[in-house]
Amino acid sequence: MARRPLPRILSHGGAQLARSRELARTAADSATDVLHPLITITRGLRRLASAGRRRWAETPKDRRGPLLFLAASVVLVVALMPYGPLLAVVTVMATAAWQGRDRRPKAPQGPDPSRSRRLKSLYEALVPYFSTPDDPEPLYSHGGAWEKAFPEYEFDGGGRITHLVISYPAYFPDGEPESRARIEHLLAAKSGRDREYHFAWDEEGNLLTLRALAPLPADIAAQRFVTSPGETVLGFTDPIRVQRTLPLSYGEERRDVPPVVWRTGIRSTAPHLLALGQPGSGTSTLLRSIALQALQHGDVMIVDGGGTGEYACLTGRDGVLAVECGPAGAAESLKWAAQETERRLIAVNRAHQAGDPPPEDTRRPLWILLDRPTVFTHLAAEDGRPDPQALLHMPLRHGRPANVTVVVADQLDSLETLSDAVRQHTRARVVLGPATAEQLESVLGAPPPSTPVDQIPAGRGYARLGTGPVHRLQVPATPNPYDDATSEALRQAVLELLPPRSTPADEEARQDAPAQEAATPASPVRLEKVPSDRTPDRDAHGRTTPAHDDEDKLPAEAMAASPAPQQPQHREAAVAESS
């Protein structure tokens, strides 16, 4: 069935609707201002007519005749007087304007006493930072007026500050990060620590704008995102710095939400990702979300150092080369990843030298996802074996031209245990869970745009892609569908995104057994499955995959020159072993 494109209104019509509504609102306000006298007089005439009808209804029937005679006499006298009709019209219009005035009580000027006390307290707290003894006309002084310092302010229904514009003196060192951090910390403490605040410094106008941020939606389930190949949705953020929106199924309705899109491939400036967080912060959820999106256009190999079965749902799926949880299998898989990266580079280089396009097997993206690789580092150090992270040097440094992407997730306190190659070549960074401003700046390379809080839901954090700005991030809910604590709606959402399972290895072995017995009738053959800590010889697309420990490794040149087999084999193909 052909896939019908989404209506344009779902993809980029939200901004046009917003502009149209703003223009209509502006036109209506302008028309109201111009026609305000006519509207007032019309309202007054309507009120006078209503009063006349009530007066006529209240008059007894025996007095209505004399009343009509009196009204006719007044009209006749006015008509015969010089300028009488003109004076009558002016009088009626003035009376109508008076009766049509807005009689609603005026809103009190300024905030109520409780809000005034809150602003006064905030003003007094800023005096030590925004004042000096040498200032002849200080804007901030003890007992001074806060109205000049706070030109704009807004409160919510509970009397808490939601928007505040602060004017500060020109001699304040607003270009120093330490000075800014002190002011932001003070404002966050005085406005409430349980909310996130965004600070915008206008150094030219000496203005600081504080805005209380609304919580990011934490109930967006995993789904197919409207993205192009090479784009991965890490999560969702505020519309402050992101102008793009994606149409999403948000519960029972559809909304346009601004995403944080990570671009990978040969033109990416941040081809590899490092995600750090506290236990239970959602780093495994982020890796599952990335894996489900990567399987649409590429192959995925997963190395799980946690050993909790977070990625068991991906085992045996189309496009999943391996899901390794043991030290031996992880080392072999990473060794094969380095060899595959080298093979791709040689093949691409030969194609470029010959003036040909790159081979087809080098264009398909290869994703290497590692969850807590520092666990294998500790185990290798205890056993006296080489660190498996050393095998990531080739994919990290040369993976971009070979369409190889590496994603590493680990705990925040294991940052120093990660290898230098991981820390140097992962230019896309994500920090999830509670973290201090110093930790965020050390990982992301820049301070966050808002004040971090202590209590946040899983999957909430910050992201920075290369040298771009720091975004607030909420990872889409992608739980382990085999976990009993997962709700049924989220479980079905993840299961619908999983690719179909490949042909079981035992079935392929039974199909190949008659041909192998006919080729060697004198030697009995015993079929067995590859152990879980080993990796296969061929993947589902017929390319070379990690070899066994007892097999010889081909050099990179020979691997590049050897032709690909005609018939693809399964990643868990059975091997024949002489008994």
- Is 91 in a helix, a strand, or coil? helix
pTM over cut 0.75? no
Distance between terminal CA atoms of the chain?
51
* Cα separation, 562 vs 556, whole angstroms: 10
Give Cα separations from 489 to 280, 309, 486, 493 (angstroms). Answer: 21, 21, 8, 6
Residue ranges of the annotated binding site are: 277-284
Q: At 72, which helix (H) or strand (E)?
A: helix 64-80
Residue with tokens 């892609």: 465
Q: In the numeric block, which tokens belong to residue 405? A: 């992407």
Nearest CA among 344, 367, 357 for reference residue 294? 367
pLDDT at position 454 is 77
Domains identified in the chain and CATH numbers: 8-99 (no CATH), 113-213 (no CATH), 231-504+527-560 (3.40.50.300)
Radius of gyration of the chain (CA): 36
pLDDT digits (tens, 9 = 90+) for 311-321: 999 999 999 99
Per cent of the chain over pLDDT 90 is 47
The pLDDT averaged over each successive group of 10 residues in the chain (579 residues) is 49 58 75 77 85 85 84 85 84 83 59 85 93 89 90 88 93 91 91 87 93 88 91 91 84 84 92 94 95 95 90 93 92 95 95 93 94 93 90 94 96 92 95 91 89 86 94 94 91 93 56 44 33 42 43 38 36 33
Long-range pairs, 98-103, Cβ under 8 A, ≥24: 98/44, 99/43, 99/44, 99/47, 99/48, 100/39, 100/40, 100/41, 100/42, 100/43, 100/44, 100/45, 100/46, 100/47, 101/40, 101/44
pLDDT at position 85 is 85
514 and 307 in contact (C-beta within 8 Å)?
Answer: no
Residue ranges of the annotated binding site for ATP are: 277-284
pLDDT digits (tens, 9 = 90+) for 490-534: 999 999 999 998 855 445 445 544 444 443 333 333 323 333 343
pLDDT at position 550 is 39
Decide: residue 398, CB within 10 A, 0-12 exposed, 13-18 middle, 19+ buried: middle
Within 230-302, residue ranges assigned H as helices are 283-294
